[in-house]
Amino acid sequence: DLFGAGKMFLPQVVKSARVMKKSVAYLTPFMEEEKAAAGETASRGRGKVLLATVKGDVHDIGKNIVGVVLACNNFEVIDLGVMVSAEKILEVAAKESVDVIGLSGLITPSLDEMAHVAKEMKRVNLNLPLLVGGATTSAKHTAVRIAPKYDHEVVHVLDASRSVGVVEQLCSDDRRQKFAEKNRQLQQELVTSYQSRKVALVPYAEALQRRFQTDWKTVDIPKPSFTGIQTLRDFPIEQIVPYIDWSPFFMTWELKGKYPKIFDAPEIGPAARELFDNGQKMLQKIIAEKRLKAHGVYGFWPAASIDDDVILYRDETRQQQLATLHFLRQQWERKGQSDFRSLADYIAPKDSGREDYLGGFAVTAGDGADELAKEFEQQGDDYNSILVKSLADRLAEAFAELLHHRARVDWGFGAEEGLSTDELIDEKYRGIRPAAGYPASPDHTEKTTLFELLDATAQTGIQLTDSFAMWPGSSVSGLYFAHPQSRYFAVDRLTQDQVQAYAKRKGKSLREIERWLSPNLGYET
């Protein structure tokens, strides 16, 4: 109740769960013995909730937090872990007679997998509420794309603080119907809003004509000090720590504020300080005992663009093609917009007379994270288990920042930056490092080409799942662009003519590409 009312904060709740679990573990044998002697059956608690990160996705911090919070409120939680198929979810739900199913996911392909689970629940005539959560989910997407696949409640849950109230109502015979009706009304409003939205999309040919323009005769194009790849195995964690952006760390624990100002916040400041201090102690343990290992690989290749594709060459002769990276172009015409961008615009065209380069990278700080987190879980210590994973995520992002700085130095324009760590985190430098699956390049399948170029799995141990999530979860990959005017942007909605052209360039069927670009389609399929 205190947590839901904002008077107690998530780190404190998870810490209290540690005490509760150890107490319950000690008392359970005695309680069961007494019940058996009295002829009583085991108590079911307030309800049984099944949680799972969907097939193809490996991220589970948010799901784990929700599980702890629900358990603290006397709900029985069955956590199936990560990369769980629809078949497994339905099988366990039936076997365990659960009251609610909760799905989690971080990457955009997980949205389609959630819709698939909803469809399967309908096919087997389940009458269970379905909860949807995770960084890539939204109330609008849930209403428009997932809820129509199922005949019963599909509820978007924003964060752990909302989960208890939602599950309480869905597990109550008296309150479920009223909650379901209110949820349906809200979702109908979201669907109506979505259907009535006015989005002006220009044809793909026009977007190409109105691309971002560069004076290729005069623009500065740096040459990297090497081409090919370089690998960093077991990179010292202590060298990565100074590059950590701590603000997202607090967000993971639902403490909203910018580091270090968050410590001065009147309500959450003390909780943030305690969490930060615990994080520092855990980092010291990780470094002293070498519990996590960080690995990275990065490289540069001679490159040239042809419209929305970037051709990479095997060597400086530029005679033999090594690979092609495919990009998408903005089409949503917003007020005051002068051009429609594609990442390919930041690479010199093949017919420009200039020689350009593209970089790429993959890093992980997750080697050992799951094992260490599991050790804490087995001790009933969810707090330190989640702390390890949240720190590993921050270390991976920090490693990406560190390596990007090194890449800029190798490219010949980063040595004179003289930027502080805060300025690096705020991206005050030249160049960008967009990642496949994110707004400027929403197609996750492009990671395959990058991983082949970097030999990423052999060099770092990072693997791609069926949905192109990276395993270990605390991993980051992307591209390096050095164009002095390069900046991040969102591709957003796409017309069918661009998607058709993109499918043709990639040698894939339209249906397959529409599946991977589902959240970005500006038309119904």
What residues are labeled active site? Answer: 57, 59, 110
DSSP 255: -
Phi and psi angles of residue 320, each rounded to the nearest 5 degrees, phi first: -115, 120
CA dist 185 and 343 (Å) reads 40
Phi and psi angles of residue 50, each rounded to the nearest 5 degrees, phi first: -100, 130
Q: Dihedral of CA 496/502/505/509: which sign?
A: negative
Six-digit token string for 109: 């392909």
Contacting residues for 348 by C-beta, under 8 A, at least 6 apart = 214, 216, 221, 303, 304, 305, 354, 355, 356
Q: Dihedral of CA 221/226/228/229: which sign?
A: negative
Residue 372 in contact with residue 291, Cβ under 8 Å? yes
Residue with tokens 């319950």: 24
Residue 439 in contact with residue 487, Cβ under 8 Å? no
Contacting residues for 249 by C-beta, under 8 A, at least 6 apart = 259, 279, 390, 391, 394
Beta bridge partners, 79, equal 51
CA dist 120 and 146 (Å) reads 12
Six-digit token string for 232: 């960093």
Q: In terms of Cα–Cα distance, which of 149, 103, 506, 467 is closest to 327?
A: 506
Q: Give 501-507's long-range contacts (Cβ < 8 A, gap of 24+).
A: 501/204, 502/308, 502/326, 502/328, 502/443, 505/308, 505/309, 505/326, 506/326, 506/445
Coil vs helix vs strand at 493: coil
The number of beta carbons lying within 10 Å of the beta carbon of residue 40 is: 11
How many helices (H) and strands (E) in the chain?
18, 13
